[in-house]
Amino acid sequence: MLEQPMIEKLLSMRLQGMADGLKAQEQDPGARELSFVERLSLLVDQQWNWRENQALTRRLKSAKLRHNACVEDIDYRAARGLEKSVIRGLAKDSQWVQNHENLFVLGPTGVGKSFIACALAQKACRDGYSAFYTRAAALFRDLALARADGSFRSLLGRLSRIDVLVIDDWAMAPLSEPERRDFWEICEDRYQVRSLILTSQLPVTRWHEQIGDPTVADGILDRLVHNAHRIEMRGDSMRKNRGKPNT
């Protein structure tokens, strides 16, 4: 019979996975046929997996993704211009994040841009990277508030440490002067060291006019576009199609 003090010591050392593994081995007659090293190896594996799962749970919670999305659930049946090979290439080990590349998900409203963005961000979390989702309007509002209360640099610092920053509904409206300046700061901080996912209803060729100031627009787009992957979607709104009665 496994002694309770041993379990309590493991828990006090935050070795929850190993404690659970010991309990399981105690109840499994087959475990007694294993050598000490084999049983220890199983316990180490269980502790490792427990810690990895805990870390993933924290990353997903911090990411605040809009959709509970994963790349395995992406629907390729609808005619949206999605290429399975492109998505699989991006999802494989999230190499684009390791290479500090950006991703643009473009297309009309309702085609599932946010879902695709969240699915790829979720895959990055599974591959060990941090992520954070925000809508463009909310991001600029938070930056303006932070500038007003003196926490602007602190907020920029937190954003700069996130591996994958997802900005939804980018370039929906022309940027104001403070918004241009703040987004320039974000792009400058992340250039070649972190990744961005931008979703937009507008093609990249329209972003320059939405940013406004030509000099700032050139600087922002130079840092965004040259190392970016593009997923260009098309078709009718999936929300509209889901609302149609079956015939």
Give residues with Cβ within 8 angstroms of 169, minimum separation 6: 135, 136, 137, 199, 200, 201
How is residue 167 written in tokens?
């900005």
Task: Locate the domains of the chain by residue range.
Answer: 4-62, 64-239
pLDDT given at position 245: 43
Give residues with Cβ within 8 angstroms of 86, minimum separation 6: 229, 231
CATH number of 64-239: 3.40.50.300
The one-letter amino acid code at 216 reads V
Check: CB of residue 119 under 8 Å from CB of residue 69. Answer: yes
Q: What is the pLDDT along the chain (247 residues), one digit of tens a residue?
A: 456 788 888 888 888 888 888 888 888 888 888 888 988 888 888 888 888 888 999 999 999 999 999 999 998 887 788 999 999 999 999 999 999 999 999 999 989 999 999 999 999 999 999 999 999 999 999 999 999 999 999 999 999 999 999 999 999 999 999 999 999 999 999 999 999 999 999 999 999 999 998 999 999 999 999 899 999 998 877 666 555 443 3
Predicted TM-score of the model (pTM): 0.83
The one-letter amino acid code at 78 reads A
pLDDT given at position 247: 32
pLDDT given at position 11: 86
Give residues with Cβ within 8 angstroms of 82, minimum separation 6: 74, 76, 116, 231, 233
pLDDT given at position 12: 85
